[in-house]
């Protein structure tokens, strides 16, 4: 089946720093989604991307749908302590019948 390679697996940064994480695949994706999961809660949708090359922002978060349709990145600018959590990329591939493929997640720790 399709696999998403998400990197890095974990990051430990200082408050105020910018963060970048990405996902790559050998398969073509029709959508790219970025979720954040806080401890004890379910993943919450941050950004949804639907077109190759699309660049979308949500506050301090920016995500892009790669031109090749096989990758996506998420940037967080000026990180704050509440950005701590696990970030997941996910997407629909052609013929997925609405099933999402998920990355393994990036654990972000922000040191105040």
Partner 1 sequence: DARVTQTPRHKVTEMGQEVTMRCQPILGHNTVFWYRQTMMQGLELLAYFRNRAPLDDSGMPKDRFSAEMPDATLATLKIQPSEPRDSAVYFCASGLETGYQPQHFGDGTRLSIL
* Cα–Cα distance measured from residue 21 to residue 31, given in angstroms and rounded to the nearest whole number: 17
38: left (phi over 0), alpha (psi -120 to 50) or beta: beta
Beta strands 55-58 and 61-65: pairing type?
antiparallel
Q: How far is the CB of 49 from partner 1 (least distance, A)?
A: 10
Q: How far is the CB of 66 from partner 1 (least distance, A)?
A: 17
Q: How far is the CB of 41 from partner 1 (least distance, A)?
A: 5
Residue closer to partner 1, measured from CB, 12 or 98: 98
* Cα–Cα distance measured from residue 109 to residue 81, given in angstroms and rounded to the nearest whole number: 8
Residue closer to partner 1, measured from CB, 1 or 112: 1
Residue closer to partner 1, measured from CB, 42 or 112: 42
* Cα–Cα distance measured from residue 52 to residue 71, given in angstroms and rounded to the nearest whole number: 10
Residue closer to partner 1, measured from CB, 14 or 41: 41
Q: How far is the CB of 110 from partner 1 (least distance, A)?
A: 21
Binding residues for partner 1, per CB under 8 A?
30-31, 33, 35, 40-45, 48, 50, 88, 92, 97-100, 102, 104-105
β-bridge mates for residue 32, sequence order: 49, 91
């Amino acid at each position: 089946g399709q696999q998403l390679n998400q990197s890095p697996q974990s990051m430990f940064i200082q408050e105020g720093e910018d963060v970048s994480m990405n996902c790559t695949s050998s398969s073509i994706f029709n959508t790219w989604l970025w979720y954040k999961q806080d401890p004890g809660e379910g993943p919450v949708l941050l950004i949804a991307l639907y077109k190759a090359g699309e660049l979308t922002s949500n506050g301090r978060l920016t995500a892009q749908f790669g031109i090749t349709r096989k990758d996506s990145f998420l940037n967080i600018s000026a990180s704050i302590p509440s950005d701590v959590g696990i970030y997941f990329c996910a997407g629909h591939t052609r013929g997925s019948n609405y099933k999402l493929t998920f990355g393994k997640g990036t654990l972000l720790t922000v040191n105040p």
